[in-house]
Amino acid sequence: MKISGLILLIILILPMSLFSQEEKVGVAASDSANLFINRLESGTNTGKVKVIQDPRLTNILRKHVGFNKTSSVPGWRILIYKGREMTRANQTKADYEESFSELGLPVIIEYNEPDFSTLVGGFRTKEDAYRYKQKLSVKFPQAYLTPSRITLD
């Protein structure tokens, strides 16, 4: 009987102690957040930070940024012509630029022996490419989506 009374006492006291601890922590966090917000709103902080770092870190970051500017990622393009005639590839590009210049999508001609390909756009997702393909299929019904490496601006 003494053991069950002790267990009952622990069960009743433990939640109260946890609740009081949680409340105290919540008040302290709220007070420090309010103090920080009040200092920001009053404008008493000058907002100056001095960063001291190894210059090698700056060089690594510059190389990283330069690499990411020139690297390509997997994406999608819309192929509107594929064939062995370069003049037809150029004519298809001119037809696209005349009819769909308002879309603002880049057009490129690639040569993969023995074929020339006229490709439109540079899309990250297949869904985006498909949306534009639907617009282009009025003039280019043979157009289809093709995976490609694209560069991000």
Q: pLDDT per residue over 49-68, tens digit each? A: 777 888 888 888 888 877 76
**Average pLDDT taken over every residue of the chain:** 80
Q: pLDDT per residue over 78-128, tens digit each? A: 999 999 999 999 999 999 999 888 888 899 999 999 999 999 999 999 999
Side chain identity at residue 64, one-letter code: H
CATH ID of 72-151, from 3.30.70.1070, 3.40.980.10, 3.60.40.10, 3.30.70.20: 3.30.70.1070
Provide Rg for the chain, Cα atoms. 32
Q: How far apart are CA 111 and CA 125, in angstroms?
A: 24
Query: Whole-model pTM?
Result: 0.55
| Tokens standing for residue 1 | 């009987």
DSSP state of 103: G
Predicted pLDDT of residue 117: 93
Residues 6 or more apart in contact with residue 38 via CB below 8 angstroms: none
CA angle 145, 149, 153 (to 5 degrees): 110
Domain boundaries, the chain: 1-50, 72-151
Burial class (CB in 10 A: 0-12, 13-18, 19+), 143: buried
